[in-house]
Amino acid sequence: MKQLFLPEDYTSVLDVWQTEHAIKFIKDTFQLALAAELKLRRITAPIVVPSGKGLNDNLSGTEQPVSFGARVLRGQRAEIVQSLAKWKRYALWRHHIQPGMGIYTDMNALRPDETIDNIHSVYVDQWDWEKVITPEERTPERLQLCVERIYAALKRTEFLLSEQFPVLQPFLPDRIHFIHAEELRKQYPGLSPKEREERIACQFGAVFIRGIGGALGDGTIHDDRSPDYDDWSTEAEDGSVGLNGDIIVWNPVLQSAFEISSMGIRVDRAALEKQLWLKNAGDWKKLYFHSLLLEGKLPQTMGGGIGQSRLCMLLLQKCHIGEVQAGLWPDEVLTECEKAGVFLF
């Protein structure tokens, strides 16, 4: 997608103040539905973590967080979080959460290396969630069940929103489709991964693509993933590889695929060793988080992040994420949106 795409004859369904009320309604409704579906308890999340402990999220492994010297740490560097993929697992261990239960947070983060467009912003807000599972539950079937429950929470929120604001009628399909990244590659061998997402999302309306980060049959990957949280290398009983994936829906306003969540079953000791080796990141084993995991102290978990502004943008039928969040935008984007009558907070 270009840095800015304004659909022809676009007009926001809700005005600015209706939008503010609807944002709160979506956030209040969805987090309760998500907590009920997955048995999650809300926990307070950090916006800053110490550098050098491996607690911050590396995303694809190349993005650099905002860092600064903190007087309270006597000069040691600290970082603004990019997401909480690893911190949540650490928190589950500290709080002695048992299998079947989990936590969710209101995460606010900065990603300074983000390339902004209609759906990406330097500021990121997510419901970051994580729950404890047993080693026996590290299966594609357990992952699929979790995705179905998240989608049920999404559909419930969409319905209740339409009852509160009748002008916003539900458009998401009743069920979400499941496919592995390798199967998707074989279906569309001449297309890029993003083009494949467009095709499958347009066809089914909602899809979960599994196995993102691991090598496909032609040696490529569907998309990059850091080696130390999602398990994208473990082989399942059916021979497929990867216990993670993305929830993607079709956005009728932008007429494009629209990622709602990246999630998965997390690495165990063997998967972490393998993925660090594959990514030439063996030196990460010395970090605090990674040493806890390799020593067998951290619980087996699954988790992910669900974009709050992304979800609001989708359900409120907005064309730009700046219509639902106070982000940071170049002057030319602000000018073009103002000319088109698109109000950015």
Question: Considering 31, 233, 262, 308, which one is annotated as catalytic?
Answer: 262
Question: Considering 82, 83, 126, 309, which one is annotated as catalytic?
Answer: 126
Q: If you ran DSSP here, which 8-state letter would residue 282 be given?
A: G
Question: Considering 158, 228, 230, 246, which one is annotated as catalytic?
Answer: 246
For CA atoms 219, 225, 41, 121, give the dihedral sign. negative
Is 175 a known active-site residue?
no
Q: If you ran DSSP here, which 8-state letter would residue 322 be given?
A: G
d(CA 271, CA 243): 11
Question: Considering 12, 31, 57, 158, which one is annotated as catalytic?
Answer: 57
Question: Considering 114, 137, 223, 259, which one is annotated as catalytic?
Answer: 259
What's the order of all strands across the beta sheet hosting 177-180? 40-42, 102-110, 123-132, 301-307, 256-265, 244-251, 206-210, 177-180
**What residues contact 17, with CB distance under 8 A and at least 6 apart?**
none
Question: Considering 51, 79, 82, 111, which one is annotated as catalytic?
Answer: 111
Is 283 a known active-site residue?
no
d(CA 66, CA 304): 22
Is 262 a known active-site residue?
yes
d(CA 39, CA 56): 25
Q: Is residue 163 a contact partner of residue 343, using CB atoms and an 8 Å limit?
A: no
Is 182 a known active-site residue?
no
d(CA 298, CA 332): 47
Q: Is residue 158 a contact partner of residue 174, using CB atoms and an 8 Å limit?
A: no
| DSSP for 22-89, written as a single string | HHHHHHHHHHHHHHHHHTEEE----SEEETTSS-S--TTTTPPPPEEE-GGGTT-EEEE-S--HHHHH
45: left (phi over 0), alpha (psi -120 to 50) or beta: beta
Residues annotated as catalytic are 57, 111, 126, 246, 259, 262
